[in-house]
């Protein structure tokens, strides 16, 4: 049992707990006399802390070989949706569309209409990243539930597999038939990683929402394949109409990937916390949104993290969005990879095949320090 990892996990968990208590103290200090609001804050902040502590305690008690599977779920950390990506990935507290199934499933509760979102991007040569999401509110009023489906694919197709006519002979050797022993393409294979998220969210009160994902993962490399399943949970707390905080714990009890070869990989929990503040600008009939997130991982990524303690690492994300008349948006942000930027256009309601729909188009630019410029384009439809 890796007790050193356990101690670091508990330390990070306690920091999350003390952060929650600090938020309660601030609310108490600045809202004297509003006892019901304080009780509300205390109840749900403690609930959020318990969820976070469960995840870090589970991580702490995992054996050494379990926690050492670094980058096992790396494709799930790329992010989805041009809006969030152009804001540096700061979206835990402000995601309120179909992409919330990925960023924080509790955010799906903000939807009042059905929504479909798609995104595509190319990373490096031939590496395609595709995303699809659908969300549907169910029930009436503010206490209804919202269900969502998200599909993520990262893959390279048509990878040539070569072999020699005679593996026992040296390359370019002359064979008995007079031909040279040179490699030829025997077949083509794909390297693909898939994730499907089945999401549910519920608005339990006017200020608090919870959500969860059942996550199914499949990987394939040539003839080998792997399958795994995990659980994500999320919550949103609206302190004021313009101010909210969010929490998501991905892979709550660790996600296990079992390969057809017998090998097992473990994706350890990731704790994401965020805050969002929106300020209205009546003079220009617009608003500006500020968001900041902190991600806590337990994979020992000291070289890429903003802060690390043993195998526990933390990275930050910040972003902003300026919205003009709810139609045109400009975005910018910063994360560990570098600067991000983007824009979006949201059309007024139109009629399509007898159905009232609201289409929108978004673009994100990510200046990745490792892979250079990456462009992502997405489209959404509300109906």
Tokens 């494709």 found at = 75
Nearest to 301 by CA among 136, 73, 25, 99: 73
pLDDT at 302: 57
Measured between alpha carbons, how far is residue 215 from residues 200, 222, 323 in Å? Answer: 12, 23, 33
pLDDT at 198: 97
Collect all residues with Cβ–Cβ distance below 8 Å to 85 and sequence separation of at least 6: 79, 340, 342, 364, 366, 376
What's the predicted TM-score (pTM) here? 0.77
Beta strand segments in 164-223, E:
184-203, 208-221
Cα–Cα dist 133/98, whole Å: 6
Cα–Cα dist 218/102, whole Å: 17
pLDDT at 144: 79
Cα–Cα dist 79/152, whole Å: 10
pLDDT at 221: 83
pLDDT at 215: 95
Tokens 């017998």 found at = 262
pLDDT at 34: 41
Cα–Cα dist 135/107, whole Å: 11
Angle between helices 3-30 and 35-61 (to 10 degrees): 170
CATH number at residue 34: 2.40.160.40
pLDDT at 182: 87
Cα–Cα dist 13/15, whole Å: 5
How far does Cα 183 stand from its chain's mean position? Answer: 42
Total domains in the chain come to 1
| Average pLDDT, consecutive stretches of 10 residues, N- to C-terminus, the chain (383 residues) | 39 42 40 44 49 48 49 82 95 94 95 93 80 90 83 86 85 85 82 94 92 94 88 94 94 89 88 94 90 86 61 87 91 90 91 85 84 86 92
Q: How far apart are the first and last CA of the chain?
A: 52
In terms of residue numbers, what domain contains 144? 3-382
Collect all residues with Cβ–Cβ distance below 8 Å to 197 and sequence separation of at least 6: 101, 102, 105, 148, 149, 150, 151, 152, 213, 214, 215, 216, 232
Cα–Cα dist 304/308, whole Å: 9
Cα–Cα dist 34/240, whole Å: 13
Label residues 34-70 b or e (16+ Cβ within 10 Å = b): eeeebebbbebbebbbebbbbbbebbbebeeebbbbe
Cα–Cα dist 73/69, whole Å: 9
pLDDT at 336: 82
């Amino acid at each position: 049992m890796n007790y050193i990892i356990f101690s670091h996990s508990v330390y990070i968990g306690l920091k999350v707990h003390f952060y929650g208590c600090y938020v309660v103290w601030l609310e108490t200090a600045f809202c004297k006399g509003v006892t019901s609001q304080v009780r509300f804050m205390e109840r749900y902040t403690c609930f959020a802390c318990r969820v976070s502590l469960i995840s870090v305690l589970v991580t702490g008690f995992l054996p050494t070989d379990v926690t050492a599977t670094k980058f096992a779920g790396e494709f799930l950390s790329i992010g989805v949706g041009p809006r969030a990506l152009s804001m540096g990935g700061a979206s835990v507290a402000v995601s309120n569309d179909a992409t919330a199934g990925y960023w924080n499933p509790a955010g799906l509760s903000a939807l009042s209409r059905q929504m479909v979102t798609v995104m595509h991007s190319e990373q490096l040569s031939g590496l395609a990243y595709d995303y699809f999401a659908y969300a549907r509110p169910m029930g009436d009023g503010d206490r209804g539930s919202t269900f969502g489906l998200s599909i993520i694919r990262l893959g390279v197709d048509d990878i040539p597999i070569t072999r020699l006519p005679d593996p026992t002979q040296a390359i370019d050797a002359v064979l008995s038939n007079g031909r040279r022993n040179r490699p030829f393409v025997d077949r083509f294979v794909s390297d693909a990683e898939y994730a499907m998220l089945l999401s549910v969210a519920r608005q339990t009160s006017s200020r608090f929402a919870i959500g969860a994902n059942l996550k199914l993962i499949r990987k394939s490399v040539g003839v080998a394949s792997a399958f795994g399943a995990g659980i994500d949970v999320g919550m949103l707390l609206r302190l004021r109409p313009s101010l909210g905080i969010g929490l998501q714990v991905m892979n709550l009890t660790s996600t296990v990937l079992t390969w057809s070869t017998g090998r097992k990989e473990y994706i350890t929990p990731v704790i994401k916390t965020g805050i969002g503040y929106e300020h209205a600008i009546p003079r220009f009939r617009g608003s500006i949104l500020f968001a900041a997130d902190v991600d806590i991982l337990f994979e020992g990524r000291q070289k890429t993290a903003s802060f690390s303690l043993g195998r526990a690492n933390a990275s930050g994300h910040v972003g902003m969005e300026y919205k003009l008349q709810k139609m045109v948006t400009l975005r910018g942000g910063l994360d560990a990879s570098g600067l991000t930027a983007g824009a979006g256009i949201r059309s007024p309601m139109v009629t399509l095949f007898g159905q009232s729909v609201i289409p929108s188009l978004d673009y994100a630019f990510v200046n990745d320090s490792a892979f250079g410029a990456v462009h992502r384009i997405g489209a959404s439809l509300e109906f």
